[in-house]
Amino acid sequence: MIVLGIDPGTAALGYGIVERRGGRLLMIDTGVLSTPSSDALPDRLLAIHRFVAELIELHRPDLVAVERLFFSRNAQTAFAVGQARGVVLLAGAAAHLPVREATPNEIKTAVSGYGAADKEQVGRMVAVCLGLNAAPRPDDAADALAVAIWAANSERDLNGNGHGSGEGDGNGAGRSGLLDLSSIAPARGESAYERAVREALAKEKPGASHRAGGGKAHSGR
């Protein structure tokens, strides 16, 4: 199974492709697409769409995984990330690929075991998960690989529970093509998404600044 993970942004979009071979996860490709701030926004979004479509054509992933937009008090950052996310979702849908989404806290928890892990911790754990000698650089690439790792492991867990790609969950809902976790019939107990939200809210401090996409500092994001 090949997974394309995306850390969305208009100024810098991280991507990471991983493949599961037996019980191992291997990195196939990773990097960052940067779009010039001097370009008009429509041109930057078109460049992102073309690039993601080319990645899909080249690597033929089985699914696309994208970081979900989370809390943000910076409207400009939220809009930039949201626009990039929309373009990525469009590219995945045009290729008829299932899409997975997760919050930054879900991804950090899955990769590092800690929902508030910093970028250095996430990078180190990505290297461990993929058998790399060092953490991938830049951070956007490492974040995208973390998204791909989360999705690959989540897919394995679903398959292990009898939910293969495109199969129903017993309630008539197919899990593989869902773009929003809230549309899945709720399971008993607290879901991973609900837990991530609860943990994030518990760590909030009055006056603290929120940023979309796990606190990205890119000016165009």
**pLDDT number for residue 122:** 86
pTM: 0.70
- Record: fold of 2-215: Nucleotidyltransferase; domain 5 (3.30.420)
Classify 132 as helix, strand or coil.
Answer: coil
Classify 84 as helix, strand or coil.
Answer: helix
CA angle 117, 151, 198 (to 5 degrees): 45
**pLDDT number for residue 104:** 87
**pLDDT number for residue 182:** 31
**pLDDT number for residue 40:** 95
Convert 159-196 to b/e letters by CB count within 10 Å (16 or more is b): eeeebeeeeebeeeeebbbbeebeeeeeeeeeebbeeb
> Is position 139 annotated as part of the catalytic site?
no
What end-to-end distance do the CA atoms of the chain give, in Å? 30
**pLDDT number for residue 118:** 78
From 19, 62, 67, 106, the catalytic residue: 67
Sequential pLDDT tens for the chain (221 residues): 999 999 999 999 999 999 998 889 999 999 999 999 999 999 999 999 999 999 999 999 999 999 887 655 667 777 888 899 999 999 999 999 999 999 888 998 888 876 777 788 888 999 999 999 999 999 999 999 999 999 999 887 555 543 333 333 333 333 333 333 332 333 345 545 455 545 555 655 444 433 333 333 333 44
From 19, 101, 106, 140, the catalytic residue: 140
> Is position 62 annotated as part of the catalytic site?
no
Which amino acid is located at 55 in the chain?
L
**pLDDT number for residue 38:** 95
- Would you say 9 and 220 are in contact if contact means Cβ atoms under 8 Å apart? yes
Among 108, 105, 89, which residue's Cα sits nearest to residue 146?
A: 108
> Is position 7 annotated as part of the catalytic site?
yes
